[in-house]
Structure 1
Amino acid sequence: MFVLGIEAATPVAAVAVVAEGKILAERMVNNRRTHSVNLLPMVRDTLSDAAINKEQLSGIAVSSGPGSFTGLRIGMSTARTLAQVLSLPLADVPTLDALAYPLSGHAGLVCPILNARKNEVYAALYNNTSTGQECLVPARATGLPELLKLLEGFKERVTFIGDGVAEYGGLLKAQMGSNACLAPICASFPRGAAVAELGLRLLQAGKACDPLTLLPHYIRESEAEIKWRERCRTNG
Structure 2
Amino acid sequence: MKILGIDTSSEVATVAIMDDDKLIGEYTINHKKTHSQKLMPMIDEMFKSCEITPNDIDLIGVCIGPGSFTGLRIGVATAKAIAHARNIHIAVVNSLESLAFNMNLSKGIICPIIDAQRNQVYTCKYSWENNTLVSIDNISVKNIDELIDEIKERYEEVVLLGEAVDLHKDKLNDLDNIYIAPNSHKLARASSVCELAFEKYKKGDVKNHYDVVPYYIRKSQAEVQYEEKLKRMGENGK
TM-score range, shorter chain: over 0.9
**In structure 2, what is the equivalent of residue 201 of structure 1?**
199
**In structure 1, what is the equivalent of residue 181 of structure 2?**
183
TM-score (norm 1): 0.93
CA distance, structure 1, for counterparts of residue 63 and residue 3 of structure 2: 13
Asked if 2 retains the 8 angstrom alpha-carbon contact of 1:169 and 1:182, the reply is no
The letter of the residue matching 2:110 is V
> Closer, same or farther in 2 for the Cα pair 1:131/1:65, shift >3 Å?
same
How far 1:152 sits from its partner (Å)?
Answer: 4.0
CA distance, structure 1, for counterparts of residue 130 and residue 211 of structure 2: 35
How far 1:153 sits from its partner (Å)?
Answer: 4.4
**In structure 2, what is the equivalent of residue 75 of structure 1?**
75
Give a deviation string over 1:191-228, Cα, whole Å, max 9, x none: 01111111111122211123113211111210122123
Give a deviation string over 1:114-163, Cα, whole Å, max 9, x none: 12221111111111223322101222111112112333443211010111
Over the aligned positions, Cα root-mean-square deviation in angstroms equals 1.6
CA distance, structure 2, for counterparts of residue 84 and residue 41 of structure 1: 19
- Give identity over the alignment, percent: 30
SS in 2 for 1:137: coil
CA distance, structure 2, for counterparts of residue 147 and residue 120 of structure 1: 9
How far 1:186 sits from its partner (Å)?
Answer: 2.7
Q: 1:220 aligns with which of 187, 194, 218?
A: 218
Structure 2, unmatched stretches of 5+, are none
CA distance, structure 1, for counterparts of residue 142 and residue 185 of structure 2: 21
The letter of the residue matching 1:90 is I
Match status 1:55 vs 2:55:
yes
Match status 1:7 vs 2:4:
no
Asked if 2 retains the 8 angstrom alpha-carbon contact of 1:18 and 1:25, the reply is yes
What pairs with 1:86-101 in structure 2 (closer than 5 Å)?
Answer: 86-101=86-101
> Closer, same or farther in 2 for the Cα pair 1:48/1:204, shift >3 Å?
farther
> Closer, same or farther in 2 for the Cα pair 1:15/1:141, shift >3 Å?
same
How far 1:104 sits from its partner (Å)?
Answer: 1.8
CA distance, structure 1, for counterparts of residue 115 and residue 230 of structure 2: 29
Q: Which moved more, 1:72-81 or 1:36-45?
A: 36-45
Q: Which moved more, 1:142-151 or 1:79-88?
A: 142-151
**In structure 2, what is the equivalent of residue 112 of structure 1?**
112
The letter of the residue matching 2:202 is Q
Q: Which moved more, 1:223-232 or 1:18-27?
A: 223-232
